Amino acid sequence: MTKWGIHALFAVLLLASIATNFSGRAIGAAHNEFSSEDVSTAVLRLAQTHGMVLQTTAKGDGVSALTFRAPGCPDPVLLAPVDINLEQLPLVPQLSGDTYAVRYAYLDRVWDKPDRASLYLQWKFHRALQLIGLSRYLPLPYVLLIQAPPDCRSVQPLDWSPIWQPSYVADSIAYKMPLH
pLDDT at 120: 92
- Of 60, 61, 59, 93, the C-alpha closest to 77 is 93
Torsion sign (Cα): 142, 63, 77, 46? negative
pLDDT score for 32: 47
As averages over each run of 10 residues, the pLDDT of the chain (180 residues) reads 81 71 48 74 92 87 86 91 86 71 92 91 91 89 91 86 88 68
> In whole angstroms, what is the distance from residue 86 CA to residue 46 CA?
22
Instruction: Single out the residue of 64, 104, 109, 65 nearest to residue 86, CA to CA.
Output: 104
Can you give the pLDDT at residue 30?
45
Give backbone dihedrals phi and psi of 50, rounded to 5 degrees, phi first: -95, 20
Write out the H or E segment, with its range, that includes residue 17. Answer: helix 3-22
pLDDT at 26: 45
Question: Among residues 120, 105, 121, which one has the least CA distance to residue 157?
Answer: 105
Measured distance CA(122)–CA(120) in Å, rounded: 5
Rounded Cα distance between 25 and 161, Å, is: 23
Q: What pLDDT is recorded for position 178?
A: 54
> What local confidence, expressed as pLDDT, does residue 177 receive?
53
pLDDT in tens, 128-164: 898 888 989 989 999 999 999 888 888 878 999 999 9
pLDDT at 173: 81
Rounded to an integer, what distance in angstroms lies between the CA atom of residue 62 and that of residue 103? 20
